[in-house]
Amino acid sequence: MASAFPDPIGRAPSGISGLRRGFPAAADGTGEASSPESGGRGPEAIRLEGVVKRFDDRTVLRDIRLNVGEGEFVAIVGRSGCGKSTLLRLVAGLETVSGGKLLRGGREADGIDPAIRVMFQDARLLPWKSVLDNVKIGIRGLSSKDAEHKAREALRLVGLEDRAGEWPQALSGGQRQRVALARALAGQPRILLFDEPLGALDALTRIEMQQLIERLWERQRFTALLVTHEVSEAVALADRVILIEEGRIGLDVPITLARPRERDSGFAHFEKRILDRVLTPGDRLTSPLDRLKDAIPYI
Amino acid sequence: MRLLSGRKIRGRLSGEVWLPWIVPLLALAVWQLAGSAGWISSRVLPTPVQVLEAGIRLIGSGELARALGVSTGRALIGFAIGGGIGFALGLLNGVASLAEKLTDSSIQMIRNVPHLALIPLVIVWFGIGEEGKIFLVALGVSFPMYLNTLHGIRSIDPGLVEMGKVYGLGRGELYRKVILPGALPSILVGFRFALGIMWLTLIVSETISADEGIGYLAMNAREFFQMDVVVLSIILYALLGKLSDMIAKWLERRWLQWHPHFRTPSGARQAA
């Protein structure tokens, strides 16, 4: 299953990817982040081969080719309505593809996968369960005692272990989203999907949450797919930023900045480059064949 | 009031507890006064003391306990049958759109018939035995339970259901952890409505056709002009209605602790 040849469109050659991924590990030098190299090898965590998604007669995604390596953090940006959330819902198994192939962990996707967790824009905590019990929802197949232990540990990771017994309504929006993050992490998922998880938070809380997500990702090395309309958030978190324009991948930029990310000139460079492209969708990075397909409806 | 607000909070709280009692107690006092002074004839309306005496007399003879037991039994059996059917149908139609398409419009049609209009029919069908009264109570109770269960399930945030699915909850778990608790506030509203209808239906059906129970007690007393017993029966119904309302409120407070509306000010338990 392992693809010997990197996909020509979807992904940078693995050699470069390895170099890039080695960079943050050398920079922070902690033991926990010692195996980032594995990202470029083995079967990809997520692989989309010419995926098409239609709702009735409206085509939302056309011919998406994308590989996400094991442990890689990929952000998907784009204007609202460009199809980025649909892409995430496809990967989550909440929608099915209309054409092409979607592989998760080397196998064709079939519905909801317990190894995949989703964090939504709203926390979606059950108001009738305590914070701790909400986190326990994310843990399957363990005895109640073990599950509670794990849930408490997940709450500790997000810094809310002292709020375990409270109702979700007693928490602020940022705290609720942290509980949702703990719930997503408690099951130790291989893949974590973020659907604009910080969109509803204020600017300060958002930056704190970004740092928290980055820290936890470096610790646990799950594969992360982040959908956001905020370019700076994508640059702050991701190894690679993918821009979706009108249902196609318009840009695929590796972010070669050290972690933890500082908002310095390098950061600004990447942010500007992606933003410029978002604002002026001009020449597309698509193959001639794609351009031809594009032109056909207008003939 | 000035005096109360000057005290400590504890004192003010107990003052607020007594506040709702002032009007009924005042009414009782005026009623008693009017009776004792002879402004109202005891043939029209006996005084509270006379009603109380009648109550004591009937408790002593065991008649009251018997009537109460029979009436409460009818009410509860009818409620269990009708409430159960309404709840089950609401649940079914809330989750299965095929069942809803099949039955909902028929149920809505029957709902619009005042169920007490069926009394002549019920007497023909069941006579004046127990079945008729239980049937009427069950019929009346089932609609508020049905409507509110259905409404509760429909008004659940679909985001929560989607979350449950993504987090791998099976069908049974989705019901137990997401759908039922989400619908519970509305189900309890239906429960309260149903309790009210339960007593109403029972009162009417007992006064029309019964050979025991509170309604029978009242109708029988009317024939002998025992106005004290008639008034006592009415007060008993009021007390029973109030009691069931208190039970419903207690259930709401117990089961909906998470709901901001029902949170008690002393919710320190949650901070454990």
- Strand runs labelled E in A20-153: 46-55, 58-68, 73-77, 99-104, 107-108, 116-119
CA distance B179 to chain A (A): 10
In this predicted model, what pLDDT tens digit does every residue of A179-195 receive, in sequence order? Answer: 999 999 998 899 999 99
Tens-digit pLDDT profile for residues A219-236: 889 999 999 988 999 999
pLDDT range class, residue A39, cuts 50, 70, 90: very low
Interface-testing mutation among A137, A171, A192, A195, with chain B (most B C-beta atoms within 10 A): A137
Say if the Cβ atoms of B166 and A114 lie within 8 Å: no
**CB-based contact A169 B162, cutoff 8 Å:** no
Of B165, B270, B271, the CB nearest to A112: B165
- Contact residues, chain B, for A170 at CB < 8 Å: 270
Asked casually if ipTM beats, i.e. exceeds, 0.85, the reply is no
The whole-number average pLDDT for the span B21-40 is 90
CATH of B48-254, one of 1.25.40.10, 1.10.3720.10, 3.40.50.300, 1.10.10.10: 1.10.3720.10
Contacts of A93 in chain B (CB under 8 A): 166
Residue B184 with chain A: CB contacts under 8 Å:
128
Helix (H, G, I), strand (E, B) or coil at B141: helix
Work out the end-to-end distance of chain A between its first and last CA atoms, rounded to an integer number of angstroms.
39
The pLDDT tens digits of the residues spanning A62-108 come to 989 999 999 999 999 988 888 898 999 999 999 999 998 999 888 88
Domains of chain A (ranges, CATH numbers): 14-115+189-298 (3.40.50.300), 122-188 (no CATH)
Question: How far apart are the C-alpha atoms of B170 and A141, rounded to whole Å?
Answer: 12
Using a CB-CB distance cutoff of 8 angstroms, which residues of chain A are in contact with residue B257? 167
Instruction: Name the closest residue on chain A to residue B169, using Cα atoms.
Output: A137
The whole-angstrom separation of Cα A275 and Cα A235 is 11
Assess contact for B194 and B80: CB atoms under 8 A.
Answer: no
**Angstrom distances, CA of residue A38 to CA of A41, A42, A48, A256, B218:** 6, 8, 20, 17, 86
Please report which confidence band the pLDDT of residue A295 belongs to, taking 50, 70 and 90 as the band edges.
low
Pick the residue of B157, B160, B167 with the most A CBs within 10 A to test the interface with A by mutation: B167
In chain B, which residues have their Cβ closer than 8 Å to the Cβ of A112? Answer: 165-166, 168
Domain segments of chain B as ranges = 48-254
A126 touches chain B (CB under 8 A): yes
Helix (H, G, I), strand (E, B) or coil at B185: helix
Span B127-172, pLDDT tens digits: 878 889 999 999 999 999 999 999 999 999 999 999 999 998 888 8
Radius of gyration of chain B from Cα atoms? Answer: 23
User: How far is the alpha carbon of A36 from chain B, nearest alpha carbon, in Å?
Assistant: 27
pTM, two decimals, is 0.76
